[in-house]
Structure 1
Amino acid sequence: MGEQKRKEHLNDDFIFGKKNYKFMLIGLACIAVGFVLMSGGGSDDPNVFSPDIFSFRRIRLAPTLVLIGFGFQVYAILLNPNKGKKTN
């Protein structure tokens, strides 16, 4: 009888819900794409300067994507998965 009561009170809920994990994956994808866009632009010859390192993609777009990805991560962590559910 006591063991059955303990099983009833045992809560197998995860801390994060399905919606939280979706936003986390979106954030990770944004961060990964941002870092991929930042890479490259090197020169084959170290004595030759390559102005590609100052392109719009590396200076503006990629860091913005990374920051947006971190924003998604923060939102995913702070999102309440039990907002619409009734508790007894």
Structure 2
Amino acid sequence: MAQKITKPVTPVKTATKSSVAKSDSPVQFIFDKGNYRLLIISAVVVAFGFVLMSGTTDIYSSTKIIIAPIVVLGGFALGFVAIFKKPAAKA
């Protein structure tokens, strides 16, 4: 059985330049400048913690076992603070 081709009842409208809504308001980002600054600082702190963990000599040093993981976790915590911090309200 062959299917019957039907045309739509109403014509399809295409968007033109005049029908597209233009927005004159500036783009509002989710994060503020301070949020991005904290996020970059947290990435640097995490990278510094991994640098403290690296190396082959004296693998049981207190720097590699205790201090470096605390620095990495502190960097991740700072990243969470950067994400969850609300931007300042503009008056």
Same fold flag (TM > 0.5): yes
TM-score after normalising by structure 2: 0.70
The one of 62, 66, 70 aligned to 1:56: 62
Alignment of 1:14-25 (within 5 A): 14-25=29-40
Unaligned runs of 5+ in 2: 1-17
Higher helix share: 1
Larger Rg: 2
CA drift of 1:56 comes to 1.1
Q: May I ask how many residue pairs the two structures share in their alignment? A: 73
Percent identity between the two aligned chains: 40
TM-score after normalising by structure 1: 0.72
Look up the match of 1:7.
23
Alignment of 1:37-52 (within 5 A): 37-42=52-57, 52=58
Does the alignment pair 1:71 with 2:71? Answer: no
Unaligned runs of 5+ in 1: 43-51
CA RMSD of the aligned region, Å? 2.0
Tell me the amino acid that sits aligned with residue 34 of structure 2. K
Report 1 or 2 for greater relative contact order, CA contacts < 8 Å, sequence distance ≥ 6. 1
Q: Which runs of 4+ in 1 moved over 6 A?
A: none
